[in-house]
Structure 1
Amino acid sequence: MSVTIEYIARMANVSKATVSRVINNKAQGVGKETRARVQRLIDEYGYKPNLLARGVATSRTKTIGLVIPDITNPFFPALIKAIEHCASEREYTVVLCNTDSSPEKEKQSISTLIANRVDGIILATVLEEQRCIPYDFAKYNIPCVLIDRRTKGFDYSAGVFVDNEYAFYIAAELLIKHGNRRIAFIAGPSNLSTTQERLAGYCSALKQYALHYDPALVVQGNFQYESGYAAVMRLHGHGIPFTAVLASNDVMAIGALKALRDIGRAVPGEVEVVGFDNIQFSEMVDPPLTTLDQPLYELGSKAAEAMLALIEGRRLDDTNIRMEAKLVVRASTRP
């Protein structure tokens, strides 16, 4: 049963106005015992006020919701830092929600942020399609800025993205020009737009250089170190030949480096490895990782600037901001 304010009022034998005063912590109009009785029922039934039904408050709360899928992935702390820095300069507070890449946790996070009247939400989603989004942000006058990932059919207010397809084209092209004809690709989760775009870039390079696409060389990972390690071990265990590895992020590429070391294949002499993101650890590993540098701080700053403009009613010149990653060549590929 969905608990309503009417139900709480009936159980406490008070008016809805009294329940509302307790919820909003109004000092006047509610006796001490009545307040305690109402609060006990609210806690007992886990009641949360449906702030959506009231519409959005006319005054700003000076808060921005930020929903990310994985706080442990070094990619996201760099974005968070940029967004918080930009927001704090304008005296806005960022409320961070980590979803652990769970669609249900993402939906709950969005629900909670809207219920707490944030002025806008910056979203790095794990939801694949618009029908999965639990709320129509425009209906409640809450701007939503997508960052890094797109969602099919979702009418977002603005978006800040990297040109993943071009980035992975130039990464694959580098490996092809080094003479590699069997390039393993470690993909991310198949439902994400970033995964689909990066795979498309890899395929475009193969096609451009008249190389056969072999699905056996494409292994799905989850952006975690362990999945990069497992991908190489799977290829090795199945006897699938490869002379290069292109990973969808640096964390998986670093896992691949460890696996190659464990099976006795020299990098870059026998196998070249390229990652994506240019996280700090990418130049600390042995050998230092060739990667694609995403402008992470700028990505976060642009998202925050777009959000603040939308909150303050300023017109955006571009609601789809595309940025380019740049190749950073290190010792995991041959000169």
Structure 2
Amino acid sequence: MAKVTIQQVAKAAGVSPSTVSNVLNGRSDRMVPATRERIDKAIAELGYRPNRAARQLRNGRTQTIGLVVPSVGNPFWGAFAREIEVAAVAAGSSVLLCNSERNPDRERRYVEELWEDGVRGIILCTSLASLDYISHVIDEGLQLVTFDRPAQPGDPESVVSVSIDNHVGGYLAASHLLELGHTQIAFVSGSIQSVNRAARYRGFCSAIEEAGLSVGDMPMWTGFEALPFGDVEAAEVGRKAAHDLFTGDGVRPTAVVAINDMTALGFCRGLRDLGLTVGEDVSIIGFDDIVLADLYDPPLTSIRQPIKRMATLAMEEAVSQDGGAGSEVGRSVLLRPQLVVRESTRAPKPAKKRDAVNTTESAR
């Protein structure tokens, strides 16, 4: 069936197309009520649906927002997508969701396709250091908001960034374990070749060094460069790390900082595979504070991101009437993460008990 046009609505209502346009764009304050009623009736009877892309190009407001996340396979991104949708509904907008798997080519393709479909505001959850691969779309006027990625020196001036301070987050995690008395602390992650993950690792290192310890002496899990980022595989990344760290010949950690909660939960599963008890034998802290963190047994200590606040800020910027090439300099919002202490982190066992556990494990 052919699509109903604004001209057909105007003809059925006995008005001009511009009068119908005024109604569609909320400019009917001074219109005679009978005229408004005829237009509404014609729209309903004909089943007319306005072209969103055309409307937002005319009035400069973004009606549909593009949201590109690594993968909703990680509950953190699923929760963030939900909060974005809640904020979008409140703003009278809708959301198109894309999963990029942190692949630059997919990110670029999604951004280009969304732009071609009339989407003028995109929230891009990327951790790549450079935005050169989508700069041509930004130059055309795209209102781009990067999430979980602080502003970088080479970013176009119009780009807005919303993120937590990941360096502080990594520092808080390591400091908490150090304060409990741990001196053998491992850092576990998939690839850290991204802006946010590298910042978390630097924060971890800062706390270790401030405590007078050497990062090089820590029992690090070194598999992260050979494995993927772990947005989908995060639990398996953590589980593999636990097996590698506690079945090898190296010094075994008494505590672990995981790059995110799913990696931490996978590590917990790996410890249980080996007959070790989370919290008692090995302390572990995650990052993100997803809903599963509090539901796990024992509940997981984590670094909380203020996800609702971050989603609201990102949405506000994405629907801004200004943006893109020639706009004012974009904002950079950096929020502070929060340490949430639960039962997965405790003081380390006395050395004699710990050695007994290690001896038992070596015999298995």
Question: Would you call these one fold, judging by a TM-score over 0.5?
Answer: yes
Instruction: Quote how far apart the aligned CAs of 1:316 are.
Output: 8.4
Displacement of 1:84 in angstroms is 1.5
Contact 1:187-1:248 at 8 Å conserved across structures: yes
2:95 partner amino acid: V
Alpha-carbon offset, residue 129 of structure 1? 2.1
Query: 1:78-227 counterparts in 2 under 5 A?
Result: 78-131=79-132, 133-150=133-150, 152=152, 153-155=154-156, 157-214=159-216, 217-219=220-222, 220=224, 222-223=230-231, 224-227=234-237
Conserved 8 A contact 1:144-1:157 = yes
**How far is the alpha carbon of 1:178 from its aligned partner?**
1.4
Cα distance in structure 2, aligned partners of 1:108 and 1:163? 29
Aligned pairs for 1:212-291 (under 5 A) are: 212-214=214-216, 217-219=220-222, 220=224, 222-223=230-231, 224-240=234-250, 241-291=252-302
User: Is the CA contact (8 Å cut-off) linking 1:161 and 1:299 kept in structure 2?
Assistant: yes
Q: 5+ residue gaps in structure 1?
A: 1-21, 29-55
Structure 2 counterpart of 1:326: 338
Give the deviation of 1:126 after TM superposition: 4.8
Aligned letter for 1:209? A
Distance 1:320 1:310 in 2: 18
Deviates more, 1:316-325 or 1:186-195: 316-325
Q: State the alpha-carbon separation in 1 of the partners of residues 208 and 88 from structure 2.
A: 42
CA positional deviation for 1:164: 0.8
Q: Which moved more, 1:121-130 or 1:65-74?
A: 121-130
Aligned residue in 2 for 1:12: none
Residue number in structure 1 paired with 2:353:
none
Change (3 A) 1:27 1:64: closer
| 1:188-244 per-position Cα deviation (integer Å, ceiling 9, x unaligned) | 422211111000010000110011112751442624111011111111232222110
How far is the alpha carbon of 1:317 from its aligned partner? 10
RMSD over equivalenced CA pairs, Å: 2.8
Please state how far the C-alpha of 1:128 moved relative to its aligned partner: 3.5
CA distance in 1 between counterparts of 2:109 and 2:299 reads 40
1 CA distance for matches of 2:301 and 2:211?
21
In 2, Cα distance between equivalents of 1:162 and 1:99? 21
The corresponding residue for 2:13 is none
2:230 aligned partner, one-letter code: N
Q: Give ranges in structure 2 of 5+ residues lacking alignment.
A: 8-55, 348-364
Shift of 1:100: 2.2
The one-letter code of the counterpart of 2:333 is I
- Note the C-alpha offset of 1:90: 2.2
Aligned residues: 284
Counterpart of 1:320, as a letter, is S
Task: Tell me: CA distance 1:319–1:188, structure 2 relative to 1, closer, same or farther (3 Å).
Answer: farther
Q: Deviations over 1:124-152 (max 9, x none)?
A: 01534233x23434421111000012475
Q: Answer whether contact 2:189 2:263 (CA < 8 A) is retained.
A: no
Q: TM-score, normalised by structure 2?
A: 0.71
CA positional deviation for 1:318 = 7.5
The one-character-per-residue Cα deviations of 1:255-289 (angstroms, maximum 9, x if unpaired) are 01111111122221221010011101011111110
